[in-house]
Amino acid sequence: MALERVSLRLCHGISFSRHDPAPVLRLRKGTEWINEPLELGRTMALEVGVQRWCLGHVLMDSDGTRRHNVCTQSKVIASGTQCATCRRLDQTKFMHHFHKTGQAPEGLRRYLEQPHLLYIASFADGTTKVGTASEQSKWSRLATQGAVIARYVAHAPDGAAVRVLEDLVTEQCGIRQQVRQKAKIRGLESWDHNLASLEELNRAAARAVHRMLESQRGLDRYGITLLDELWHQPTYAQQVVNAWDARSIHRKDPAVPGGEGISLRIHGVLGQTLMIDTGEHTELVLLDLAELKTRALVLRQAHFVDHGGQASLF
């Protein structure tokens, strides 16, 4: 089965830049790349395909930059984002185990030579995780995560050292390294926590990490310094946090892949989560943008008409 390249656009996910007023939805039609800004107030009609398609693989150039390669066979996949061939070819897979194995291609080694940071991020369901970011992706990494509150807690000279710290935090403090996207959305749709309680959870976790790291001898000899640098949300993300804290987000799945489509208006973007309404006088609901990744999309202009909670697609 081949992906139709004429009218369908394959979604590669969201891209964040601190220099742009809004994140963009990265779409590909054949060899053409299209950026669709997810601006506050924008309206669109969206249709989502059922099939998942391989997104290709990443190779690392000798200077440490990434180079994306499309899947030459445009394979249908059952889960994840890659077919078996692209998963084998992808050179970023060595990144998370390099500090244990020492094995990585030259380009990835160059990337890992740059300074890295350790962060603590807390999500709406009360879950807290530890993670890492390179210095060059310091801002975009946390923008992508979709945490309600986060802070950087340590600076390391390279990617191997920071991942040793990450494992140490998990082992000694019991802080996990992954939070599933579905859990992030469930938290935003629930009222078990609020912003004040999450701020205290995050501060407490950061204090525990600092105490543990301070108890380790000779960290300064390895170029590791402790930080307490709060992450500041961009405006489009703060809109979602404010709505969650005000308990104005409602539980509803607004779009199902393969359905008739949805007409929406953007009210905020937090990580991989889009806060929308679907017409005049409708409730704020959440759209899981991670479900769009690997699927073919059709985007059209939307015309909102008040139909007592309904919106017209065309």
pLDDT digits (tens, 9 = 90+) for 44-73: 999 999 999 999 999 888 888 889 999 988
Residue type, position 268, single letter: G
- Write down the pTM of the prediction: 0.89
> How high is the pLDDT of residue 312?
37
Per the CB < 8 A criterion, the answer to whether 114 and 134 are in contact is yes
pLDDT of 308 reads 42
pLDDT (mean) for 4-16: 78
Residue 302, pLDDT score: 82
- Which tens digits make up the pLDDT trace of 273-285? 999 998 888 899 9
pLDDT grade for 101, boundaries at 50, 70 and 90: confident
**Per-residue model confidence as pLDDT tens digits over 137-147:** 999 999 999 99
Q: Assess contact for 209 and 136: CB atoms under 8 A.
A: no
**Residue 175: is its pLDDT beyond 70?**
yes
107 Cβ contact partners less than 8 Å away, ≥ 6 residues apart = 59, 60, 61, 62, 63, 64, 65, 91
Confidence band (pLDDT; 50, 70, 90) for 7? low
Residue 156 pLDDT greater than 50, yes or no: yes
| Residue environment code for 162-186, b if the CB has 16+ CB neighbours within 10 A, otherwise e | bbebbebbeeebebeeebeeeebbb
Tokens in use for 51? 């099939």
Give the confidence band of 93 by pLDDT, cuts at 50, 70, 90: confident
